[in-house]
Each structure stands twice: as structure tokens, then as C-alpha cells.
Structure 1
Amino acid sequence: MSITDPNMSDRFTSAMEEIHNKHLKIYSDIIDTTTEQSQSHRQFVKTALDACLKKCMDDERLFETIQEFKKDLEQKSKSLKEKQRAISEVMSEVQEKEMQKEDVIQKIEKLTEDQTRRKALIESQNKVNKNKLQNLQKARLVFQDHLALEIRTVIDKTQLVKSEKLQFVFRNINPSDQNNAYVITMGIKENGSYQIVSSDPVLDCLPVLESRLQETNNLPAFLANVRKEFISKARC
């Protein structure tokens, strides 16, 4: 037809341009509609998001308020239970004291009787101790005056806790030098037993003497044996 009709090509071109223009208008309308709907959707989403955020904040404040009320209620409930327990304990103590009243009276009477017996026992023990003290004084005179024994108190400052020790200084041991000192140092352990710290000069048999002292608890006999060992060592 383009061969037989020279205008056919122009009409075809015009028709194609018209179709193209229609498509462009349709596309333009679609783009405008899409843009308008997109803006409307963005505005809807923004409004919905703002509403959700406000709702979340309101819910968080409400939740915090509920938690505060809950904590306050728990504290009041705990305080009430403690007061109830305290009242119950006081009532129990009052009842227990009422029940123990007779027992206390009986115990007081028994303590009075025990005190009377202890007083009599103490008086008797004092008499015995007085006799022992007299014997110890005699022994002291023998050791100090006749055997020249000197007793010293030594404070040990090297330890974390200061402790007192006793030094027994023997003289009249060495015939060539009567004033020469022979010393043994003793302490007392926490359990009350004697502890030999050192001797000057050193006695080889000191552990045996210490063991015997632990068994007999006889300090004068121990000192007498130590003196004998010092005399034996001085004569060697």
C-alpha cells in the first residue's frame, strides 16, 4: 500500500505517534497516580508510626506505674508480714516467760544452795591453798636463799603478740666461779602446759626433762633436776 499510496507512510507515522502519545499520557497518569498514592501511603505510614510510638510510650509509662504499684504493694505486704511475725514472736516470748516463771524460781533456789556449798568449798580450799602457799614459800626460800636461784620475768617483743616468759637463773653451780649464771627460759602454752624455750648452756637431756614435767606438772622437781644437770655439765 505504501507503494500504491504515497501518503500511507505519513498516515502510519501519524498513527504511531498518536498511539505513542496515548501511551505516554497513560504512563504519565499512572506515574501521577502512583506518586500521589505513594505520598498518601507515606503520610498514612507516618501517621500510623507516630500513633504507634505514642501508644508504646503510653504503654511503657503505664507499665512503669504498674511496676511501681506492684513494688509498693510487695513492700507493704512484706512489712505487714514482718510486723505480724514480730507480734507473734512477742506473744510467744510472753507465754514462754510465763511458763518459765516457776522454773526460774526453782533455779534461783538451787543457785542459792549451790552458792552456799561453793562458799563452804572455797573456804575449805582457801585453807588448803594457804598451807600450799606456805610450802611454796619454804621451797622458794630453799631455791633462792640456799641454792641462789633467781627468777626473772622476760617480755618477748619479737612476736606479734607480746608474751611473758620466766627465766630461772642458777648460781653456785661451778665451784671455780660461784657467780657464773646457768639459765633456763620457760613459757606457758595456750593449754596451760609448760614449754621449755631454751637453756644456757644447752642441756642434751632437756627434752626428756620437759616431757617428764608435762607428765607430772611438778615444777620444783623439774628445777631440781635441771640444777643437777647443770652441775654435771659444769664438772665435765
Structure 2
Amino acid sequence: MMSHIKTEEELDIFNKSINDFWNRFRNTTLNEHYSQVLGLRDTYKDSNEALTERLSTKIKEEDRMVETFLEFRNKIHIQNKLIQEKQDNLSKLVDSIRDKEWEMEKLTKSIQDLKASLDKKKEIICTANKANKEKLKMLQKSYDLYKDHLGLEIRKIYGGKLQFIFRKIDPKDPEKPFTFSLCINEEGDYEISDSAPHLECLAEFQEKIRKTNKFSAFLANVRKAFIALACNECVNNV
């Protein structure tokens, strides 16, 4: 009986020892595992924080790069716009210069044409002046002849005209004036007008002297026409 009790006590002690060992083993294992889990958690947390910080830094750097890129692109856009405006202004300036060059060419040609026209007119005027001088010489010669023998007087009147005054035409009134006016036009031709009394044949005389340029004969014909007119008046008055 005593032996049986002793055996049970030993068995209880053994079981207790086993349980104590198991509890210690379990607690030790769980504590170690928990410690490992905590260590892993802390390690993960530290790694995650470091990674988060690196990612945050990277994102900030990329944001700055994007901002810098956008700013640079905006500057390029502004520069391109300014360049385009300058190119447009330059094109307008070039077109304006070309227009002015074309206008200058036209003006130069107009000046050259005008100069050529003036030179031609000067030549015509010079030729006309020479012809006029010759005609004036003839007029003076005819005037001297007719003044002394036929009572001719020449006066300069308005418009650059010369007035020819014949006397000794009418036998009843030798001092009665018979007149006509004469000038030389721009073409160098004789123009005869204002005869008093009026001569119907004056236009015919003008055409003839323009063709022959014989002024003495012209004066003789005018004087004869005035004499014929005066004689007709005398006949009509009888």
C-alpha cells in the first residue's frame, strides 16, 4: 500500500515536472517568437519609414523637376512667340523696304522721264528762240523799211503781243490808223489777230506767212488789204 502511494506521488511529481517544463518551454518559445515578431515589426516600421522618406524625397524632386520643366517650357513658348513677332515685324519691314524701293524706282524713272521731257522742251525752246531771233531781225528790217516809207508803227501791248499800226492808207485821212496784233506762240508760229478795221483775209495771211516765213511780203499783203478796204469805203460813201 505504501509502495502504491509512493508511486502515485512520484507520478504526480513527474507529471508536475513535465507540466512545468512544458509551461516553461512554451512560455520561452512564445516569448522568443513574440520578441522576433516585435523585432520584425520594428524593422519593418523602420524600413517603411525610411522607404517612405526616400519616396517622399523622390516625389518632391520629381515635382521640382516637373515644375522646372513646365517653367522652362513656358519660357520657350514665350521666346518662340517673341521670335515669331520679331519675324513678322521683320517681314513687314522687308515688305515696306521693297515697296519704298519700288516707289523709289518709279520716282527715279519719273524724274528721268521729266528730265528728258524738260531737255526736249529746252531744245525746242532753244530752237524756237533762235527762230524767233531770226524773225525779230526780219521784223526789225521790215519795220525800218515800212516806218520810213509807209508810215508803219509797232507797239508792244498786253500778252506779249506786238501791235502794227499802218498810216497813210486812207487818202482822205492819212493819219487814220489801221491795226492788227501779232505774237509768236510756244510752237514758234505766228499768230495774227485783232485787226481794225476787220480783215476777212487775215486768217489766210497767217497761214501763208507760217508756210513761207516771208514777213515783208506779209506786211505788204496786209497793207494792200487795208488799202482795198479803205477804197471800198470811199466808193461806198460816194
TM range (shorter): 0.3 to 0.5
Output the TM-score relative to the length of structure 2. Answer: 0.43
Q: Which structure exhibits the higher relative contact order, with contacts defined as CA atoms closer than 8 Å and separated by 6 or more residues?
A: 2
Output the TM-score relative to the length of structure 1. Answer: 0.43
Between Structure 1 and Structure 2, the one with more helix by share is 2
